[in-house]
Structure 1
C-alpha cells in the first residue's frame, strides 16, 4: 500500500506541475557581453546561448534567417543584425539586436539599457553613446517624449530607486562632435520594470506572490487554478481508490482456501453438486469417497 500511495503522489505532482506550466518553464536564453542592449559592434560583443541539450546542437538565426547549423554555444559577433538561437530541448530564444555605425543612422547615437531583468527598487543607469564613443554634449533624456533629464557633459541617466512607473520608451539626444557638430536623436528603447518576488504561495484558488519589499506593496495574482486543483484532487482520489481496491481484491483471492469437495454438507446433494461444478477438481481422485457419502 505504501508503494501505491507513493505512485499516486508522483502522479499528482506531475499533473500539478503541468497544470501550472512549470514543466515547460525552462526556456532558451541569449546572453550578451558586455551586458547592454542594444549591443554595439565596437564593444566586441559576445553572444552566449543557454538552454537544455548539447551545446554543439545550437542553431543560430540572423535577421530571422537560418544562419549557423550546429554552431557553438557562444561566439563573437562580426556583423550587425538581430540574432536568436535555438536549442532542441528548450526552443527558440528571445532576440538580441546588435548595431553598427556610422553607416546605420540608428547606431550613430545609441541609448543603452542593462541587459538583465530590471527589478523595482534597484538602481539602474541608462547611457547615451555615440559611435566609437565620440564626444556627446548637452545630452537630454526623454521618457515617452517627455524630457526627464539633461546634462552638459554627462551621458548617463540614473533611475534610483527603480519604480513601476519608470517602465516605457526612452530616447536620448545630444550634440555629437565630429568634423561638424550635429544634433542627433537616438532610436527608442523599452524599459520594463518587474516586481521582485521572494516567496510564492500556492493556495487552492490563488497564486499569491509576496514582493521582496513587503512594507511597500503586496500583489496577489489570481492564477485561475481552482478548477484545475479540484480536478487533480478528484483524479488522485480515483487513482488511489482503484489501487486500494485492486490490492484488496488480489489479497482476498490469495487468502481464500481451496474448496474441499468432501467437506461440503450432505444434507442437500443438489447444492453440493452445483458447487462442485464451479470448482476445478479431478473426479478420479474423490469418486469412491463421494459415492460412499452420497
Structure 2
C-alpha cells in the first residue's frame, strides 16, 4: 500500500526505506566505529562517529530502521544493541553498523579487505572464559584455538570471500556446551578500488 512502511525483518532493508540517500544518489556519509571491528559488541564501549565531506548541520541518527534522535554532535557512545545509521545534510545516509549483545560474536575488521592482506578473525565470548574456539568458513572448519581469541588468514585471495562464524565451548561451572556466533559475510576486493569502496565496511 502506498505511503505505508511495511515491517521488514532485515534491518539493512528497513534502513534503506527510512533513511534517504543524497540528492545525487551517492552514499558519501560514513559511520565510523571504534573499536574498528564489525559487528561491534556492546560490552566494548563502542563509539559511533558520523562523517561526511564537511557539510554543516545536525546529524540525524536511526536505530533499527527508525528515526532515533537528532542532535548537533556527530558521535556518541552506544548503550543499546541494534543496527545504527546516520544522516547528514546533503550527503545522505551512511551504511548501517550493527552493535551486537550476543554471548558469542565473530568479528572482522571494519574496513575494506584487499587481496594480499591478512584477515584477523576474532571470536569473542562475553564472559571471556573459553576452553576451545572453532572457526568456520561456509561450515568448513578453519582451525581451533585453545588459548587466545584470534585466527589470521594470509594472504587473502578473492576466493576467501564468504560467510564466517565461530563456536565456543563454554563451561561456566553450572552448565557446559557449544555456543555459536551469527555468521559474518566477508568480501575480499581486488587491488583496484575506488576511494568510496575503501571507505565502506
Q: Which residue of the partner structure matches residue 123 of structure 2?
A: 128
Out of 106, 116, 119, the position equivalent to 2:114 is 119
Q: Which residue of the partner structure matches residue 58 of structure 1?
A: 59
- Tell me, yes or no, if structure 1 residue 43 matches structure 2 residue 44: yes
Q: Which residue of the partner structure matches residue 187 of structure 1?
A: 182
Deviation (angstroms), 1:141: 0.9
Deviation (angstroms), 1:137: 2.2
What SS does structure 2 have at the residue aligned with 1:165?
Answer: helix
Distance (Å, rounded) in 2 between the aligned partners of 1:78 and 1:160: 35
Distance (Å, rounded) in 2 between the aligned partners of 1:149 and 1:80: 29
Distance (Å, rounded) in 2 between the aligned partners of 1:162 and 1:33: 24
Q: Which residue of the partner structure matches residue 35 of structure 2?
A: 34
What SS does structure 2 have at the residue aligned with 1:42?
Answer: helix
What SS does structure 1 have at the residue aligned with 2:121?
Answer: strand
Distance (Å, rounded) in 2 between the aligned partners of 1:64 and 1:24: 19
Question: More deviation in 137-146 or 108-117?
Answer: 137-146
The total of aligned residue pairs comes to 169
Structure 2: segments with no counterpart, 5+ residues: 1-23, 195-201
Q: Which residue of the partner structure matches residue 92 of structure 2?
A: 91
Give the structure with the higher percent strand: 2
Residue by residue, what CA displacement relative to the aligned partner does 1:186-205 show, whole Å, maximum 9, x if unpaired?
Answer: 11001111112279xxxxxx
Superposition CA RMSD, Å = 1.8
Q: Which residue of the partner structure matches residue 169 of structure 1?
A: 163
TM-score of the pair, normalised by structure 1 = 0.54
Q: Which residue of the partner structure matches residue 14 of structure 2?
A: none
Give the structure with the higher percent helix: 1
Structure 1: segments with no counterpart, 5+ residues: 1-22, 101-106, 200-294
